[in-house]
Chains A and B, each alone.
Chain A
């Protein structure tokens, strides 16, 4: 049994979960929805085991480190955090259907990692040899994941809103009738961002502390740092916009999607298109 086998199982289970969630949307059968969440949780448990196993494997190879050090490992971890945050929100607020819009993000991550990224376990270069790696990566990715969930909820919001305005108030309402009311989706969007924002803040603070420890400067306007600040600004604007009227609902949903696009650029775009301290493995 190797971690990569378990990661393959994870990917397949997430795919099953997504398909079941889509069937749930089509049939509105609560039992099917339950199976969708259970599949997501089962995949998450397998993935947790796989991450721990990969951790152990790195020690067996003599280069032991937490599996958070390169692009492959971070994408896998991102996918894990997305399901975790989804689970927390589902258990707390009981809106199962959100899974149909959140599990695909986790699946996309796993599929990309398994098919397109180098999965080799590599030893840590000197700059990564620090406990701050753990604190920084965990807080950042939990934050990113909450924003991913908020983005999924916002997409649901926009669909639901459009469908409501075109259908008038016909009770049947197509397959989207089981979406929570737009008022609830708007609220859940804020709740997810209220989880993500403190975590992103912690991620930036731990990153600054690490940079100070490694290079003697907590802030150097490196592209990654700057983009993390841009993301922070977007969500800070989002939170303040809530206080003024007119920035709820549709505009808040759009801002949440823009925020997640900025998050993804901060995570991947900076590494792929811009040069700086975070170019993995270079």
Chain B
């Protein structure tokens, strides 16, 4: 029973240590990841897409978790298997590599000499002691300081460069595990939320995933929101001016902080990102000047959002929509504009746009009343993404480690030189590099050629 058990554990261990499993898992992750890029993912699934699917397909997709596939049990399982595989592979191979790094073979015995492809026999003049000092000095100057070992009447020199780069692969593997840990920390102790704040008001609660309300423990006030456009009508800047309030009082250092896209505000580990904006749709007031085409003094009109206003001659008007900059809709125009609807008794309602920057324009419309738009005190809301992620630093640490590990693994090579000096003046030099052996061969030949002239 015990042996059987051991056999099972051993084969399980061997299974997870295998590089074939690693390649299979990596390819499986790559292939399955495609699914979620083709099928829309929650919560952004368009209604039409759902309707376009047949019942069987819909049920199948739902069962397989394809609509939130990166959080589906089987994808997570793949990631776990990948992690276990990664750790097992590293644990199996690390001790041997560690030994190569920390306990290099300091002497060039015959077995080692045969295993190396770069060896050279030199005939040098001088005694054992002078050759030892000469070659040690030479290696220190040209390569790196050697370790000197005397054994059986022979002197061995061992010099190496970048031994630690052999650990690069394991640094990369470790960094992946650290990034996963950071992601788990973030998902356990952090949250992503959203909040909508109207100008002049404050909010202390944000909406998290699954419509859960999260209390921030402090409040954020939107002092002002502004939006700017380029001449082409493309958006240039969305800016919220925020103040952090603790117990209703502004926190010093967090008053009137402008935040724009790519420049968020962080307070107590919670970060607010500019995300969207819009008219608050409440309390907005629009100002117009109305002139009768037949003459008479112009009248100032104040129209509140959603309210019908009386005009001369039994007519009424209301504002149907408005914008702070019309350029995004009509590129050749600029500035604020409002679409108004005028109802005349016994006639079809008349809907048209008036522009603040072009007050004369409405004359050309030919209506009995000539409108000009004087602007609004319409309030905006700002939509802010709210994120708390205590794991993000762990993730950045992992990423940095990954880059360092990759540089160690790919761009550095562990180079070793052994020299054996016999008492008869025979000197054997051998070398090896963990990477790019052909390039090292050139350097080795150059080095031994110089040695020969010593």
A contact residues vs B (CB 8 Å cutoff): 63, 122-123, 125-127, 129-130, 132, 194, 197-198, 201-202, 205, 208-209, 212-219, 221, 223, 226-227, 229-230, 233-234, 236-237, 240-241, 243-244, 247, 262, 270, 274
Are A123 and B232 within 8 A (Cβ)? yes
Option from B22, B192, B237 in Cβ contact (under 8 Å) with A126: B237
Write the chain A residue with the least CB distance to B176. Answer: A236
Asked if A221 and B406 make an inter-chain contact with CB atoms under 8 angstroms apart, the answer reads: no
Tell me the minimal C-beta distance from B396 to chain A in angstroms: 7
Q: Are B403 and A198 in contact (CB under 8 A)?
A: yes
Instruction: Report whether A123 and B230 are in contact in the complex, using a CB–CB cutoff of 8 Å.
Output: yes
A237: which B residues are within 8 A, CB to CB? 23, 26-27, 30
B23 A240 Cβ-Cβ under 8 A:
yes
**CB-defined interface of B32-68 with A at 8 Å, one 1/0 digit per residue?**
0110111001000000000000000000000000000
Known contacts A122-B232, A215-B385, A234 near B30 by CB under 8 Å: yes
- Asked whether any CB of chain A lies closer than 8 Å to the CB of B275, the reply is yes
Instruction: Given A125-B234, A217-B387, answer yes or no on A226-B19 (Cβ-Cβ < 8 Å).
Output: no
**Is B399 within 8 A of A208, CB to CB?**
yes
Chain A residues within an 8 Å CB radius of B386: 216
A contact face: mostly helix, strand, loop, or mixed: helix
Residues of chain A with a CB closer than 8 A to B36's CB: 221, 226
What is the chain A residue whose CB lies nearest that of B193? A216
**With A126-B236, A221-B36, A226-B36 as given contacts, are A63 and B230 in contact (CB-CB < 8 Å)?**
yes
Nearest B residue to A212, CB-CB:
B392
Choose one: A125, A197, A219, A229; the contact of B406 (CB below 8 Å): A197
- Nearest residue (CB) in B for A232 is B30
Q: Which of B30, B234, B238, B403 gathers the greatest number of chain A CB atoms within 10 Å?
A: B30
Cα–Cα distance between A117 and B231 once the two chains are bound (Å): 22
- CB contacts (< 8 Å) of A209 on chain B: these are 396, 399
Apart from A63-B230, A226-B36, A247-B23: 8 A-B pairs, beta carbons within 8 A: A123-B234, A125-B236, A126-B260, A126-B262, A130-B262, A215-B275, A216-B192, A230-B30
A237 to B26, CA, bound (A): 6
Contact B33–A226 (Cβ < 8 Å): yes
The docked-state distance in angstroms from the alpha carbon of A122 to that of B20 is: 49
Interface string of B381-393 (1 = CB under 8 A from A): 0000111010010
In the assembled complex, the Cα of A151 lies from the Cα of B20 at a distance in Å of 24
Q: Which 5 interchain pairs have the tightest Cβ spacing?
A: A216-B387, A233-B30, A126-B261, A223-B37, A130-B262
> Are B410 and A217 closer than 8 Å at their CB atoms?
no
Per-residue interface assignment for chain B, residues 272 to 304, with 1 indicating a CB less than 8 Å from any chain A CB and 0 otherwise: 011100000000000000000000000000000
Q: Give the number of residues in B that approach A within 8 Å (Cβ atoms).
A: 46
Give bound CA distance, A54 to B203, whole Å: 45
Q: What are 11 sample pairs from A and B whose C-beta atoms fall under 8 A apart?
A: A126-B262, A197-B410, A205-B399, A209-B396, A212-B392, A213-B264, A214-B261, A214-B262, A215-B273, A226-B33, A244-B19
Which residue from chain A places its CB closest to the CB of B274 in the assembled complex? A126
Minimum CB–CB distance for B219 against chain A, Å: 19
Nearest Cβ on chain A to B266's Cβ, whole angstroms: 10
Q: Are B402 and A201 in contact (CB under 8 A)?
A: yes
CB distance from A154 to the nearest CB of B (A): 18
Complex CA gap A240/B26 in Å reads 10
- Whether B449 sits at the interface, judged by CB under 8 Å, is no
Residue contact A244 to B23, C-beta cutoff 8 Å: yes
B29 / chain A contacts, CB cutoff of 8 Å: 233
CB distance from A186 to the nearest CB of B (A): 13
Given contacts A237-B23, A244-B20, are A201 and B33 in contact (CB under 8 A)? no
Proximity bits, B351-391, A CB within 8 Å = 1, else 0: 00000000000000000000000000000000001110100
Q: B174 at the A/B interface (Cβ < 8 Å)?
A: no
**B38 with A274: CB separation less than 8 A:** yes
Q: Mark B2-27, 1 if CB is under 8 A from A, else 0.
A: 00000000000000000110110011
* Residue from the list B27, B261, B264 in contact with A129, Cβ < 8 A: B261
B261, A127: Cβ atoms closer than 8 Å? yes
B393 shortest CB reach to chain A, Å? 11
The answer to whether A230 touches B262 (Cβ under 8 A) is no
Q: Pick the contact of A233 from B19, B33, B273 — CB < 8 Å?
A: B33
Q: Which residues of A sit under 8 angstroms from B385, Cβ to Cβ?
A: 215-216
Q: How far is the CA of A221 from the CA of B237 in the complex (A)?
A: 26
Given A123-B232, A198-B410, A217-B192, A240 and B19 touching (CB < 8 A)?
yes
Quick one: given A214-B273, A221-B70, are A229 and B23 in contact (CB under 8 Å)?
Answer: no
Contacts of B399 in A (CB 8 A): 205, 208-209
Q: Any chain A CB within 8 A of the CB of B235? A: yes
Q: Which residues on A sit within 8 Å (CB–CB) of B396?
A: 209
> Which residues of B sit under 8 angstroms from A226, Cβ to Cβ?
33-34, 36-37, 70
B27-A218 in contact (CB<8A): no
Known contacts A126-B238, A233-B30; is-contact A227 B37 (Cβ 8 Å)? yes
